[in-house]
Amino acid sequence: MPVPLAAKATTRATISPPSLWSLSTTYSFKAARVFRTNVSALPEQTPKRLQLEKPRLFCQTKKPAFLNLHKLLNTVKDKPLMFLVGLVQIETEIELVKTIIALLFLLYASLSDWKSREVTDKLWTVMAPLGLALTLIEMYINGFSQLPLYGICFGLTSTFAIAIFYAGGFGGADAKALMCLALMLPFYPTTLPTPIANEPSPISLNFFPLSIFNNSVLLAALTAIAMLLYNVVWRLRTGNKLFGGTYKNESAGRKLIVILTGYKASVEKMKQKWHVYPLEDIEENTAKPSERNLLAVPKDEGRDAIVKRLDDAVKAGRISDRVWATPGLPFLIFMTAGLLLALFVGDLIWVFIGILIPR
């Protein structure tokens, strides 16, 4: 759209419109409204040197106005308060942009995790440096007082994610996503609307990725209720025992974990779908009846060997075709939902604590 440009403005009392356009293109239209001079409000006896010439199009200039650093510095010198207003607007927009980018990356990763249970590493190699760059730009505007806390947040989150990964709590993509969130959204975006919980938790303000993880775990835990209901319905519908057969003397706690995390599946299904993990193993001993062991935690290493032993036992008629198995939960879906909850509701653990212990 045409933008009026001033021909000559020799006094310091008026900011030249080319500088105004540079501010509007650099900082946002909201900031531009603050910086623009209300030319219509000038008195009728305006000196001729301040009157506007015939409007010119911005595209007719030789180079973009936002590259004119000298005019921008003059604007900062003449109108420092208005310039600070523009910086506040930039900060708000950076936090909004970072939040939207994080959600887009997680949505794409969740879709890939749902379809194939795999996420390409290229996604994280783009998200990590992008998040670091945007956060450093935001700190450059506000000052680097939060830089030490930023380093602590990333270090703590990374250590936590790597420890859970090696403990078998979740996959490598889940750990990388949590570390990328520590680079992109280390702190709760306070310039965005307040969550339903009225105030962010202390963990959210200083270690926002951990609040996202808390919400993700709570959402994933809800699947245990669904598994329990499924197993109860299966028991009533088929009339078969949940733990019938030659199981070793398993504890009630281990059986409860298996019921809450797994279901009866065919060995053939585990052979076709690699993300379905066996929750039991069988001893290879032909001298006596085969003994089956429950696995409270599914094993990624040796999974194929366990499935082969179970398949051989089924073909030999030593066990039934239905064995305990658990699906590899697409945790990135819960992490995406956990981020949305953290933004609009808050840290669920902190909310529950507030309900139990009113502040």
Kindly report, residue by residue over 208-259, the tens digit of the pLDDT.
Answer: 999 999 999 999 888 889 999 999 999 999 888 888 766 767 788 888 888 9
Identify which of 228, 218, 237 has the alpha carbon closest to the alpha carbon of residue 257: 228
Q: Is the confidence at residue 49, as pLDDT, over 70?
A: no
Query: Is the pLDDT score of 164 beyond 50?
Result: yes
CA distance 18 to 3: 9
pLDDT digits (tens, 9 = 90+) for 135-156: 999 888 888 889 999 999 999 9
Nearest CA to 94 out of 158, 25, 190, 177 is that of 190
Task: Parse the chain into domains and list their residue ranges.
Answer: 17-78
More confident residue, 56 or 354: 354
Mean pLDDT check: name the lowest of 17-21, 86-90, 144-148, 260-264: 17-21
Percentage of residues in the chain with pLDDT exceeding 70?
70
CA angle 247, 249, 255 (to 5 degrees): 75
- Note whether 200 and 333 are within 8 A (CB): no
